[in-house]
């Protein structure tokens, strides 16, 4: 396939609705969503996508029912070590995007183990945005620049980008949102400034490798102008 994106970011939406339509608790939908991740990531990497960013838990998701949030954290703890080992076997580097200090200590430990295990891998990069918010990232970057005492006249887009959570990673080429909603939900506001967007009604647990192919094919039809003619 020609004209493939280098960096694909996915808003994995629709887990709760997937479960509700089947008369299941919402957490069953999140489990189904977690089970979907491996096949989608594998499909993207097979198509030579070098960077994948998954939106797992936003800074606004804390407003969900406490039982659901706790269930999500428990699910992450149960799965991340196993998934990290699998990614490590495929030379994939895992990075975390977001405010890790705001998470329960057990979740922090799981994420840190995954990142440390894969930090020296030289293959594709999988960014896991958990407790992430685009506005938080921009604020955190501004604070970082102030702490470094960088003079205002030396701050430009390159300096700012070099201090984002995604420092060293190219901007997003394609943002995919599942679940039928048509918004970006505070996701990668800086990095996706000139990304192409692909919205689908397919709920995340039903987003198969075939759906990945459709999204990549649609991207291949786009003519990216980056503000030009």
* Catalytic (active-site) positions: 13, 61
Contact in structure between 178 and 12 (CB atoms under 8 Å)? yes
Nearest to 173 by CA among 65, 26, 53, 41: 53
**Cα–Cα distance for residue pair 90/213, rounded to 1 Å:** 21
Residue 175 Cα distances to 86, 116, 166, angstroms = 25, 27, 15
Contact in structure between 60 and 136 (CB atoms under 8 Å)? no
**Cα–Cα distance for residue pair 173/150, rounded to 1 Å:** 30
**Cα–Cα distance for residue pair 145/164, rounded to 1 Å:** 10
Nearest to 11 by CA among 206, 199, 224: 199
User: Quick one: angle between helices 66-89 and 105-118, nearest 10?
Assistant: 20
Chain position carrying tokens 């198509």: 47
Judged by DSSP in three states, 189 sits in coil
End-to-end CA distance of the chain: give it in Å, rounded: 25
């Amino acid at each position: 396939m020609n004209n493939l994106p280098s960096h694909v970011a996915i808003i994995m939406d629709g887990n709760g609705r997937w479960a509700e339509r089947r008369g299941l608790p919402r957490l069953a939908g999140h489990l189904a969503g977690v089970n979907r991740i491996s096949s989608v990531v594998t499909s993207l990497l097979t198509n030579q996508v070098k960077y994948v960013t998954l939106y797992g838990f936003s800074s606004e998701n804390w407003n969900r029912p406490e039982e659901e949030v706790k269930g999500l954290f428990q699910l992450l703890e149960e799965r991340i070590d196993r998934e990290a080992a699998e990614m490590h076997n495929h030379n994939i580097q895992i990075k975390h995007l977001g405010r890790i200090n705001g998470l329960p200590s057990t979740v922090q430990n799981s994420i840190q183990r995954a990142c440390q295990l894969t930090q020296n891998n030289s293959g594709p990069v999988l960014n896991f945005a958990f407790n992430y918010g685009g506005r938080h990232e921009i604020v955190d970057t501004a604070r970082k620049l102030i702490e470094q005492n960088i003079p205002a006249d030396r701050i430009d887009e390159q300096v700012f980008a070099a201090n984002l959570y995604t420092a060293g990673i190219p901007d997003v080429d394609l943002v995919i949102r599942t679940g039928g909603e048509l918004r970006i939900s505070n996701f990668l506001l800086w990095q996706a400034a000139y990304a192409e967007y692909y919205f689908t009604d397919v709920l995340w647990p039903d987003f198969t490798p075939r759906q990945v192919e459709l999204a990549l094919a649609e991207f291949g039809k786009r003519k990216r102008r980056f503000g030009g003619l």
